[in-house]
């Protein structure tokens, strides 16, 4: 019997919205449902993803065109090595960031958003569910500050505000805005409601 294809669920939003927390809570829910899954994030820890991460951590950032090329190579490798094999094997894939992040972050750096979406969708599966965790910019900045870590090149208020405006304009067939300004459990309840629509 042919294995039923898994679901691709991605969590999006600016820094500080609680994506990793919500992935953990959703994973626990899928465990209760008896659904196998894998979790991961982008940029990955592969060669191309680390090039982008290292530059951002050093407050330098790559030129936007080079950044885009590195992220596309990183994502292509991710699709080939993890995402597509897991989905084909019937597992759900839960991702902390995927190509909508490129539309927001590289779009906020001046790249053409429609062209970025076209280039990604040439090879990257469209998510079965893309959850945009949305919180006020003040709360996001406060959460980033509470981490007590050195900020990277992306974590600047004016840049994050541009990212938020672009997130608000993203057009994907399975794009769902989640109000993530409440407690983690309240946000999880909204996430689970959206996920229940793709179960079965």
Q: What is the pTM assigned to this prediction?
A: 0.93
C-alpha to C-alpha distances, 49 to 41, 72, 106, 184, nearest whole angstrom: 10, 9, 14, 28
Hey, what are 56's tokens? 């951002």
> What SS3 class is residue 40?
strand
* Residue ranges of the chain with per-residue pLDDT less than 70: 1, 148-153, 200
Task: Report whether 58 contacts 151 (CB < 8 A).
Answer: no
> What SS3 class is residue 165?
helix
Hey, what are 77's tokens? 């490798």
Q: What is the pLDDT of residue 190?
A: 97
Burial class (CB in 10 A: 0-12, 13-18, 19+), 108: buried
Domain ranges in the chain are 8-196
Q: What is the pLDDT of residue 28?
A: 97
- The string of pLDDT tens digits covering residues 24-65 is 999 999 999 999 999 999 999 999 999 999 998 888 889 999
Q: Give domain 8-196's CATH architecture.
A: 3-Layer(aba) Sandwich (3.40)
């Amino acid at each position: 019997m042919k294995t039923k294809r898994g679901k691709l669920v991605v969590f999006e939003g600016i820094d500080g919205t609680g994506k990793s927390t919500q992935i953990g809570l959703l994973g626990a829910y899928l465990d209760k449902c008896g659904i196998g899954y894998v979790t991961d994030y982008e940029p990955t820890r592969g060669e191309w993803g680390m090039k982008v991460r290292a530059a951002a951590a050093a407050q330098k950032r790559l030129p936007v065109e080079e950044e885009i090329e590195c992220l596309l190579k990183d994502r292509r490798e991710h699709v080939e090595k993890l995402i597509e094999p897991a989905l084909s094997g019937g597992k759900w894939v839960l991702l902390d960031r995927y190509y909508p992040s490129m539309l927001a972050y590289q779009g906020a750096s001046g790249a053409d958003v429609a062209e970025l979406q076209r280039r990604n969708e040439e090879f990257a599966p469209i998510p079965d569910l893309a959850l945009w965790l949305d919180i006020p910019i003040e709360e996001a900045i406060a959460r980033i500050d509470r981490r007590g870590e050195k900020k990277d090149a992306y974590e600047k208020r004016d840049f994050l505000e541009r990212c938020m405006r672009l997130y608000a304009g993203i057009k994907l067939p399975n794009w769902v805005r989640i109000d993530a300004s409440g407690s983690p459990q309240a946000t999880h309840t909204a996430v689970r409601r959206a996920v229940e629509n793709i179960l079965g």
